[in-house]
Amino acid sequence: QSWTVVPDFTHHAHSASLSAVAVNNRYVVTGSRDETIQIYDMKKKIEHGALLQHNGTITCLEFYGTAHLLSGAEDGLICIWNTKRWECLKSIKAHKGHVTSLSIHPSGKLALSVGTDKTLRTWNLVEGRSAFIKNLKQNAHIIKWSPDGERYVTVLTNKVDIYKLDTASITGTITTEKRISSLRFITDSILAIAGDDEIIRFYSCDSQKCLCEFKAHENRIKDIYSFEREGQHVIVTASSDGYIKMWNLDLNKIKDVPSLLCEVNTKARLTCLAVWLDRASETNENSDKAATSSQANEDDKSSIVRKRKVCWTDKSDKTANGKRKITPEKQKLESPLQKKKKKQNSS
């Protein structure tokens, strides 16, 4: 099985190089050295606007679900954004130096950040305040939660420290020869690590042993991403050589070298990478295959949806009949006037 890669949407958005990218089910956001965050609507394939809150290079971006985005920058701030109106809900002075990396717990209640002030900070996202500060021996440049939220890892140059959530203590350390540029949890206990060489390595978080390593590119690897589609684990790598490569990983044969699905030469010096999956079209395909319910049920459902639309998404303040919708506040104001009119009419 081989895949083909074709450019779908290209836009020259920033006046400087890109430093961070993040995706959710609809949007792609990019951060740059030009201090701006650009938003793209991937459903419509259009530029959606820019966020201007930071002073300094945007260093990290991460979505939580469909409603929130967190951004960190060299100004030491972490900003929490509402992705419905793209408002900055809160701006937190997170670190005395730069914010180098942040990661949101799968529950959405906690976030971790590291900065150039040699601290690891835990944030209570429910209350929007600092919960815990841990001093590190040196600056960490990557922090990442595991998918199950039971552990997290920090990267300090060429060293990965693995922490357990319940004890907040280091349970193991992985050391590589070269500086680590990117890290990704493939499962709750398997890490993919890429660095300033051409090799990708898979490590066990439990034993800290290297399970597999293979040469992926001709130059240093800048970023690594992974996703699952129809039961297939796919790893995507981007290198300074301009190539993006996609690999098929068999988790049952983790010691075997992944097979190359496709590669594309972007002819650009790549700095960061993310994968946007069109979940809606996947869902539609699955629902077409599984469409066995009766037409009567569908009619009932559609009428419920129509009712909901009238109640909740009508921004013009009008009902379906075209008459003006009266809110409770307006009713209170209008009822005394109506009484006056009735008195005048009766007289």
Q: What is the pLDDT of residues 248-260, one digit of tens each?
A: 999 889 899 999 9
Determine phi and psi for 236, rounding to 5 degrees: -120, 130
DSSP state of 183: E
Q: H or E stretch including 311?
A: helix 295-312
All domains in the chain, ordered by first residue: 13-93 (2.40.10.480), 96-175 (2.110.10.10), 180-278 (2.40.10.480)
Tokens 């005395």 correspond to 96
Q: Specify the amino acid at residue 96.
A: K
CB-CB neighbours of 106 under 10 Å: 13
Cα–Cα distances in angstroms (integers) from residue 125 to residues 16, 21, 64, 75, 103, in the given order:
31, 21, 11, 20, 12
Each residue of 290-335: pLDDT tens digit? 443 333 344 443 333 333 333 333 333 333 333 333 333 333 333 4
Read off the pLDDT of each residue in 20-31 and give the average, rounded to a whole number: 95
Please say if the pLDDT value at position 185 is more than 80. yes
When pLDDT is cut at 50, 70 and 90, the band that residue 192 belongs to is very high
Q: Could you give the CA distance from residue 36 to residue 86 in angstroms, rounded to a whole number?
A: 14
